[in-house]
A and B are shown apart, each in its own frame.
Chain A
Amino acid sequence: MSKSISELEEIARKCRVEIVKMVHRAQAGHPGGSLSEIDLLAALYATRMRIRPDDPKWSDRDRFILSKGHASPGMYAILAEMGFISHEDLKSYRVLGGVCQGHVDMKWCPGVDFSAGSLGMGLSFGMGCATAARLDKSDRRAFVMIGDGEMQEGSVWEAAMAAAHHELGNLKVILDRNRIQNDDFCEEQMRMFDIPAKWKAFGWNVKEIDGHNMNEIMEGLDFLESPENCQGPSILIAHTIKGGGISYMENNPSFHGAAPNDEQFHQAMIELGEVEA
């Protein structure tokens, strides 16, 4: 599972290409949050997750729960990169009968552990997975990715309180802090004030990183896995850029849930080094 920083960056670049292709092909979907999360997913899957792509239901696998389930192109891209699904499968995104449902779905896609799409649910589900691992006396972990806008759902805090109460050291959260939600910037929709202080106050181990800096991401994942942070739940607050990697999508709320047109698609492929200008 050892990968160099440049190898991880290349995996993430290839995933970005697939994300843009998927959303462009479907002319629907959520590119912004997929691009903001993808460096984190690339590092997590390529270097930390204990999984068997040829045996996706292996009972002792680490679980990954994409609670912000609309950011599915990012997850499908890394699942294809890891070999859970084929690159051909990515063409089924949002297509009738396709394994790549609009929002990630455990009944449809190998490697998906939770049927998401309704915000505020994944952390609770992850707590259930972590509790099961503890009952099984297994050292498998539950990684949960949540969005920042998602934290406006009250049930996130029900789960945060319960996971700390039960000292679930095998529950690891990554927060994709991209500062934009559906309608607008989070700051305009619902201010969340001091996010690290909130999680600390709920009894969590907290670390902040730049979610696009692969060195910092690796340090952050080390933090989540370090023995001293396995006595209770931990959260990695990753500061990211919505639409990160595609100039016209970056920090642009209109690309939360909109597809690029043909011209924009071509521009993205140039920026990602897939075609020459």
Chain B
Amino acid sequence: MTRMAATRDGYGQALLDLAGNEKVVVLEADLGKSTKSLHFRKAYPHRTISCGIGEQNMLLVGAGLAASGYIPFASTFAIFTERAFEQMRNGVARPNLAVHLCGSHGGTHTGTDGSSAQSIEDLAVFRTLPNVVVMHPCDDVSTRELTMQLPALGKPSYMRTARNKTPVLYDGRENEVKIGKGIVLSEGNDVAIIACGVLVSESLKAAESLAEEGINATVVDMHTLKPIDGQLIDDLVAQCGALVTAEDHNVIGGLGSAVAEHIVANSFAPLEMVGVPDRFGESGQADEMLEIMKISAPYIALAAKKAISRK
């Protein structure tokens, strides 16, 4: 039986694991219970700074701390990180201060809160900022591993985590998770499916159904969207000759765009982009949202066949 867990729990665990570093501080905007920074708060209240419901202030308090030698981890819902976009741009990214921002409850998978809480543009907007590393891991283990690597990064980052549980893929495979390096989860030569976040497990399901039809797919967990693993993309183009991207994010500006930007400049292969079709969400269960947005496993499999047909 596959273990199920939410990526936000991996984030909360990582903060505890990092606490031995006295320079690590945690910033909250009244959502620590949700983003899972609350565990750090309980254990290390003097190194946890409540910013109230004030995301703009939180980002810049983080910048001031980073400029003073601290390693701040700030979190809120992905949607509310966008409220502090200009603070991230002008106060964090521009002076290259290593503030680590985590946006939980990203994507339509967030579910029943509805469209106001379903960030579908966070990865796109933060990807446009120079100096900022952008990540969207798919399970709690990789979230924890990536978060643990952030203090050594020396530059700002944005990581999206998810509210709901997804299959855990990396138990016992922790060493494979490195910032900036995509991970090949299954091998096939007909098509490569490059996914992030909650759609990684959907892509594995799609690969299984494709295999039943005699189509062999490579599935890649591209947990880091920026810097994108260009070498791996080039290898996938050479190996498979057709690509699919899959993300719970607007099809504009996210992982699909990052892959497209790379291949148009470096190599060529047909690319089908599975993502939220430039529309807002609505209230629904996580699995229902993937269906209504046409980003669940069957749609990924369909896109794979289309990509192959365009070879």
B-contacting residues of A (Cβ < 8 Å)?
59, 63, 105-107, 113-115, 117-118, 120-121, 124-133, 135-136, 142, 154-155, 158-159, 161-162, 165-166
Residues of chain B whose beta carbon lies under 8 Å from any beta carbon of chain A: 25, 46-47, 49-52, 54, 56-70, 72, 86-87, 90-91, 94-96
Nearest-CB distance from A161 to chain B (Å)?
Answer: 7
Given contacts A115-B91, A115-B94, contact A131 B54 (CB under 8 A): no
Cβ–Cβ contact B95 & A59, under 8 A: no
Taking a contact as CB atoms under 8 Å apart, the answer to whether B86 and A124 are in contact is no
Can you list 5 A-B contacts with CB-CB less than 8 angstroms, sorted by A residue number? A118-B86, A124-B56, A124-B91, A128-B66, A158-B57
Give the dominant DSSP class at B's interface.
helix
- B66 — which chain A residues lie within 8 A by C-beta? 128
A107→B87 CA distance, assembly (Å)? 17
* Chain B nearest CB, measured from A62 CB (Å): 12
Interface pair B90/A121, CB less than 8 Å apart? yes
Shortest C-beta distance, A28 to chain B (Å), equals: 20
Q: A59: which B residues are within 8 A, CB to CB?
A: 68-69
Query: Is the Cβ of B64 less than 8 Å from the Cβ of A126?
Result: yes
Q: Kindly report which residue of chain A lies nearest to residue B84, judged by CB atoms.
A: A155
Tell me, in angstroms, the Cα distance from A135 to B70 when the chains sit together: 9
Whether A133 contacts B68 in the complex (CB less than 8 A), given A124-B61, A158-B52, A158-B56, comes out as yes
Task: Determine the chain A residues whose CB is within 8 A of the CB of B96 once the complex forms.
Answer: 107
- A162, B52: Cβ atoms closer than 8 Å: yes
Let me know if B52 and A155 touch, CB within 8 A. Answer: no
Q: Bound complex: CA of A120 vs CA of B66, how far in Å?
A: 19
Given A59-B69, A121-B90; A128-B50 close (CB under 8 Å): no
| B56 and A128 contact, CB distance less than 8 A | no
- The interface residues of chain A lying within 8 Å CB-to-CB of B91 are 115, 118, 121, 124-125
Complex Cα distance, B58 from A161, in Å, reads 12
Compute how far the CA of A253 lies from the CA of B67 in the bound complex, rounded to whole angstroms: 35
